[in-house]
Structure 1
Amino acid sequence: MHKFFYYSLLALIIVGCTPYGSPKEEVQPVQEYREELTEDYVERVNNKYKEPEKKQKPQQKQQQVDIKPNRDSLVDIHKLWWYKKMHSEESKKAPVTLKDLYVKTLNHSNQVKVFSDIPIIRSTGIQEAEGEFDPVIYAEGGYNRVNEPVGNVLKTGDDNDFKENELYFEAGIKKKFSPGTEVQVSEKLQRIQNNSEFTDPNPQSIATLSVSIIQPLLRGAGIEYNESLYRLAKIDSKIAKKEFKRQLETHLLEVTRAYWALYLAQASLTLRREMVKNIEDINREIKQRSELDALQSEIYHTESALAFHRARIIRAETVVKNSRDRLLTLINDPQYIYDSDTLVLGDIPFTKWNDIELKKSLLQSMRNRPELEQAYLQIRASTIRLNMTKNELLPILDGIVEFAFTGLRAENDMGGAIGDQFAGGDPGARFGFRFEYPIWNRKARARHTRRQVEKRQLINQFKTTMENVLFEVKVSIREVETTYQEFLARQKAFVAAQKEINALKNRRVLETVLQGNKGVSSFLQALLQSQNNYLETQFQLVKSMIDYNLAITNLKRSEGTFLSFENIETVIEEDENGLPMWRTVINSYEDKYTSK
């Protein structure tokens, strides 16, 4: 009988591991999903953006050249007065670069801490799914009293009422295994005393050791089905990590924008202060010429311009403060809470042109964008859920095997009863099955249909995401090219405005030599107008340079290379309450666009 018990258990486990039902869709590794889903897009990119042939028609060759921005820079930005003033050694006692701010953001930003908790929360689902297979210890005890009339003298003898007192205690352990097998081992102890003449011994102690095995044969059978929740939890954890990467990129991109917005605000303030000095000089000179050739209206005009630009300085100072506070809000570094003025920008804007290949950028985005990684994993998870519903379409058919070892002693000899469990002959046994199947099975069919539609939806959603990613890359590259062309055009406008001022100053000297002091005020008015134009061209020049740097950063984000994720190390630590938390560290940072 003991051998039969082991053979029965082995047979049920083997049957439970056997895949039943309709063929399941293969759950491919993520890499295979990526290659399969992106195959058409990679082929389309490779065919559309082929390397130009050696022999090419003149018109096509001209078009190929035209899409490249003009690289001839008219102005050396690093030699302009405002640039030197902003980046002089006196104003950069403790400068911080964008990389420094990234590190500070990762260490202190509350928003980053919110993002970093997402993978921790999702990873608990893995442990929760593993908990389905944890052993369960249980115990139950109580007292039963029976007092009921009987209609059969063989039950009690002479008494018309059957009276029984029972004390019982049952404890055991049960566990579910990967094939779906449920095993339960329990020990039940009873002390029974009644008024039946046929109970012997009376009172009596009973000990029963039972082993129960239930093995699903159709629905719920197999390792693949029963470990599906665990595999889904692992996929969900990976999706959370990709989501963390996407949100972290978005936040650091906001830090980058705030950084350059502050740079632009400080440059604008520097330019406007210099403009006020120039207008003050003109206003002072016009007032001095009030008795020579300057009209009262010209004096009022210069005073109005001076008041206007002084008011603009007030606004510019507010913009600087707001931009600085916006940047510090994204970082949350306690170093700047009480002394935000110590934040001094140290990065130098990038002004050179680096060749950008559209084909290379498109292929990089397919490999690196976290949104696409999430889409791959979601489709993989949908396949697992679809296979689960295919299994749930099957009827419930469970095989049941149960064995019991019983010992009996008189009075309160419970120890002897426990020993008699194994001293007797073969154990008692029960073999059976349980079958259940809804007539129309509409619930399972509806779930199966829903999972099929969901997978189709996710595939279409992936295609939509892919199209949007490719669109973003194209727009980002065009924006880089456009902003650089604008930067070069702003240089031309700046050079022309500078030449205009120099020409007016030279003309004034000439007119002074030819006509003496007469007519100088008109040149001062013209110089005032050119100063306004000169200020605007310088501001637009700085803005176009900042726009170019932001366009480069946005291109890296659209390519999925803004964060070199392999250089971001996440270490799981414990907070002050002993809860797990992620600490994110940048090991190294290489900017392929601005490293030269």
Structure 2
Amino acid sequence: MLQRILLPSVISFLIVIFLTGFSPAQESREDILEDASVLTLQSALARGIQYNLDLQVEELNIPISEENLIVEKAEFDPAIEMGISSMEERTPTASAFSSEDFDLYRETGGDIGIRKKFRFGLESQMSFKTSRSMNNSSVDALRPQYRNVLLLDFTQPLLKNFGTEVNTANLRMSQNLVQQTASEYMDRAQRIGEEIELVYYDLAEAQAVFRYRIESRELARDLLQGNREKFKAGVVPITEVQQAETSVASRDEEVILARQQMEIVANRLRDLLGIRPESPLYKEPFVTENIPGTDQTFPDFVQTLATALEKRPDIQRQHMQIANQDIKLEYYDNQRLPRLDLEATLGANGLSGPDRPTSFADFSASSTQVGSYEDSLSRMSDADGYEWYAGLRLSYPWGNRAAEARYRRAGLEKRQAVYGLKRLQETIEKECKNSLVTVKRSLERVSVAERFEELARTTLKQEMERFKEGLSDTFRVLDFQDDLIGAHIRKTEALVDFNQGLANLYRAIGINLERFNIIAATSQKKLIDAEEQ
């Protein structure tokens, strides 16, 4: 009889010992957060702005736009042209004044000139040409001949392409594009900053959940240890031990899952911060700061929207887009006019060469232009020979359909840009409203979660007192432990949602980096430089 009573108890005890001794070993370093270095949110944002590869790609658009601006400015740079040449021509002749069967002509010369387009539309060119020529003409009294010519050519549009505003349209649009690119960089920096802040708080939440899961498991282990002692004393049945053992195993899994989530989020943050294999933070664990509380202030909707419409870089970029469309519309309006150009040419030339007397029918003569090469230059400077030309040239396409179509297209594109601005303003208003809703409702959730947490703590404490007196069981205690841990996690989630709502709000306003005294210096500098140009 005694044997039948003791045998099941001994077997149950051996089962408990077996399960305890051969349960899967936990990692020896589950306190991985204890010795980890602290990464502050401000440090994370500063590092992300500096090392994030997506942002570095965006930043390169700034110098690219500046090079495009230089290209447009170079259109008004003077250009030097020069050349040298040599030629010979041998042409059969039937002239009765020629003693030979061929006319021979050789010339060696060069030219140099400078041309420039002015911003008000004038196109000018000054050129100097010099040559030395020889021929076998029987009537030319100079051999060789030195000829020098100085020319000034001007073309001034009077209707189409007239005026500084028209001729600098591309230049002004390129200047605006530099500012647009800087605004795009700032917008990208703010959005990456927002993403970093959101993931940072995700990591803070994951680390907090990991700690709570460890705390939950330790509560189950303490309960298991107490149940074992009570079982040895014959106070509780083996089912109480088995219930606690099952809970410990379940909470072991929850710890592993929480750690998995924490490591995944940490890797996301490393990617955003540009933490690469050579960085100490690549393999070493790090922890976030304590999650900020609910004592943070934030602006109301009116102030939020007013600041956003003033400071958001994307709305500044859209204003620049409309300004560019205005420039295009003005330019294409001018292109509808007829092309009427005033053309003018002024020139001076000089001629000289060694004397070669000619004779014809017992009559001989010499040239009055006998002299050296220097004499040709002197006669040119004295304008012994000159030329001038002035005229008007009119050009107008039949129907002018292309110019009219371009003007209408520019008008439609401006309407698109205006609609885009209005849509962006609506989007900003929606983002501000939704962010404020998230912040305010998260505050309410934190308040409720704190009450629930306090109630869960009190209830668990009372249930543990009843358990010690034998008035409760393991199942109920474990259930109340789960309620307390769940209350901790719910409060953490609400607090994280509150801080993430603030991150969304300040990004929607356009001051999320400024809030942490972080300025995307490259973008600001380029924006200022573009405004000065």
**Which residue number in structure 1 is paired with residue 386 of structure 2?**
427
Identity percentage over the alignment? Answer: 22
Distance 2:168 2:527 in 1: 31
Confirm whether residue 306 of structure 1 aligns to residue 265 of structure 2: no
Aligned partner of 1:401 in structure 2 is: 344
Quickly say closer, same or farther: Cα 1:151–1:350, change in 2 above 3 A.
Answer: farther
**Corresponding residue number in structure 2 for 1:188:** 129
The aligned amino acid for 1:555 is: L
Structure 2 vs 1, CA of residues 415 and 297 (structure 1 numbering), >3 Å: closer, same or farther? farther
1:251 to 192, 209, 212: 192
Any idea what SS the aligned residue of 1:352 has? coil
| Preserved contact between residue 181 and residue 213 of structure 1 (Cα < 8 Å) | yes
Q: Deviations over 1:327-346 (max 9, x none)?
A: 12212256744654363423
Distance 2:337 2:381 in 1: 40
Q: CA deviation at 1:582?
A: 7.7
TM-score, structure 1 normalization = 0.75
How many Å separate the matches in 1 of 2:375 and 2:316?
Answer: 65
CA deviation after TM superposition for structure 1 residue 504, in Å: 0.3
Q: Name 1:169's counterpart in structure 2.
A: 110
CA contact (8 A) 1:402 1:431 kept: yes
SS at match of 1:200: coil
Q: Which whole-Å deviations, capped at 9, do the CAs of 1:486-516 have from their partners, x for residues lacking one? A: 111211221221121011012234xx2xxxx
Distance 1:346 1:220 in 2: 63
Distance in 2, Cα, partners of 1:235 & 1:181: 25
Aligned to 2:289: 346
Does the 8 Å CA contact 1:98/1:347 hold for their aligned counterparts? no
> Where does residue 201 of structure 1 map in the other structure?
142
Q: Give the Cα separation in 2 of the matches to 1:161 and 1:253.
A: 87
SS at 2:504 equivalent: helix
Cα distance in 1 for partners of 2:153, 2:141 equals 29
Structure 2 residues without counterparts, runs of 5 or longer: 1-32, 355-370, 529-533
CA distance in 2, matches of 1:152, 1:255: 92
Structure 2 residue aligned with 1:410:
353
Separation in 2 of the partners of 1:434 and 1:163? 38
Q: Deviations over 1:190-236 (max 9, x none)?
A: 12112222223122121111111111111111111111111111111
Quick check: 1:451 aligned with 2:410? yes
- CA change 1:195–1:268 in 2 (3 A) is same
Separation in 1, partners of 2:491, 2:333 = 64
> In the alignment, is the contact (CA less than 8 A) between 2:349 and 2:385 conserved in 1?
no
> For the Cα contact (< 8 Å) 1:176–1:183, is it kept in 2?
yes
Task: Report deviation, 1:107.
Answer: 3.0
- The correspondence of residues 42-57 of structure 1 with structure 2, limited to 5 A, is none
* Match 1:316 to one of 248, 253, 258: 258
- Choose the corresponding residue for 2:327, options 355, 380, 384: 384
- 1:329 matched to which residue of 2? 271
Single out whichever of 289-298 and 309-318 deviates more from structure 2.
289-298
Q: SS at the partner of 2:65?
A: helix
Runs (4+) off by over 6 Å:
581-584
Distance (whole Å) between structure 1 residues aligned to residue 392 and residue 134 of structure 2: 35
Match of residue 521, structure 2, among 570, 587, 592: 570
Displacement of 1:423: 2.8
Question: For each residue in 1:53-88, what CA deviation from the matched residue of structure 2 results, as whole angstroms up to 9, or x when unmatched?
Answer: xxxxxxxxxxxxxxxxxxxxxxxxxxxxxxxxxxxx
Question: Given the alignment, which residue of 421, 439, 444 partners 1:480?
Answer: 439
Structure 2 residue 157 is the aligned partner of structure 1 residue 216? yes
Matches within 5 A, 1:505-524: 505-509=464-468, 512=469, 519=470, 522-524=472-474
SS of 1:201's partner is coil
Counterpart in 2 of 1:561? 511
**Structure 2: which amino acid aligns with 1:318?**
Q
Tell me the CA shift for residue 348 of structure 1. 4.2
- How far apart are the structure 1 equivalents of 2:258 and 2:374? 92
Secondary structure at 2:500's aligned position in 1?
helix
Q: Does the Cα contact within 8 Å between 2:178 and 2:526 map onto a contact in 1?
A: no
**Cα separation, 2, equivalents of 1:561 and 1:570:** 14
Please tell me whether the aligned partners of residues 200 and 269 of structure 2 are also in contact (alpha carbons under 8 angstroms).
Answer: yes
- Is contact 2:49-2:193 (8 Å) kept? no
> What are the superposed Cα offsets for residues 20-56 of structure 1, whole Å, 9 maximum, x if unpaired?
xxxxxxxxxxxxxxxxxxxxxxxxxxxxxxxxxxxxx
Is residue 2:480 matched to residue 1:541?
no
**Is the 2:347–2:386 contact (alpha carbons within 8 Å) kept by the matching residues of 1?**
yes
**Given that residues 182 and 523 in structure 2 are in contact (C-alpha distance below 8 angstroms), is that contact kept between their aligned partners in structure 1?**
no
Q: Where in structure 2 are the equivalents of 1:34-73 lying within 5 Å? A: none
SS at match of 1:421: helix
Q: 1:388 & 1:332 partners in 2: Cα distance?
A: 45
Instruction: Using the TM superposition, give the Cα deviation of residue 96 of structure 1 relative to its aligned residue in structure 2, in angstroms.
Output: 3.3
Matched length: 477
In the TM superposition, 1:36-185 aligns within 5 A as 95-150=38-93, 153=96, 157-185=98-126
Corresponding position of 2:9: none
Alpha carbons of 1:583 and 1:136: their partners in 2 closer, same or farther (altered >3 Å)?
closer
Q: Which amino acid aligns with 2:207?
A: Q
Instruction: State the match for 1:42 in structure 2.
Output: none
CA deviation after TM superposition for structure 1 residue 128, in Å: 1.4
Give the distance between the partners of 2:81 and 2:379, measured in 1 at CA.
24
Task: Note the alpha carbon deviations across 1:148-179, whole angstroms, 9 max, x for none.
Answer: 344655xx634453321222211111111111
**2:221 & 2:36 partners in 1: Cα distance?**
31
CA distance in 2, matches of 1:440, 1:152: 52
| Structure 1: segments with no counterpart, 5+ residues | 1-89, 513-518, 574-580, 585-596
SS of residue in 2 equivalent to 1:427: strand
Contact 1:183 1:212 in 2 (8 A): yes
How far off its partner does 1:416 sit?
Answer: 3.5
- Which letter maps to 2:305? L
Task: Give SS of 2:141's match.
Answer: coil
**Greater shift after overlay, 113-122 or 201-210?**
113-122
Q: What code does the residue aligned with 1:563 have? A: L
CA RMSD after TM alignment:
2.7
Opposite residue 302 of structure 1, the aligned amino acid is: A
Return the alpha-carbon distance in structure 2 between the equivalents of residues 200 and 305 of structure 1: 123
- How far 1:567 moved relative to its partner? 6.7
Q: 1:283 to 1:325 in 2, by over 3 A?
A: same
1:147 partner letter:
R
Instruction: Give the partner amino acid of 1:433.
Output: L
Secondary structure of 1:129's aligned partner: helix
Q: Deviations over 1:438-465 (max 9, x none)?
A: 1011111111110011011111111111
- In the TM superposition, 1:493-512 aligns within 5 A as 493-509=452-468, 512=469
Determine if contact 1:119/1:241 at 8 Å carries over to the other structure. Answer: yes
AA of the residue aligned to 2:448 = A
Cα pair 1:116 1:582 within 8 Å, conserved: no
What are the superposed Cα offsets for residues 254-273 of structure 1, whole Å, 9 maximum, x if unpaired? Answer: 11112111111111111111
Paired AA for residue 261 in structure 1:
D
Contact map agreement 2:148 2:380 (CA 8 A) in 1: yes
Q: Where does residue 268 of structure 1 map in the other structure?
A: 209
Output the CA distance in 1 between the equivalents of 2:274 and 2:124.
54
CA distance 1:426–1:141, shift in 2 (3 Å):
closer
Q: Distance in 2 between matches of 1:424 and 1:266?
A: 92
Distance 1:487 1:290, change over 3 A: same
- The superposition leaves residues 255-309 of structure 1 with CA deviations (integer Å, 9 ceiling, x where unpaired) of 1112111111111111111111111111223334446354444433322221121
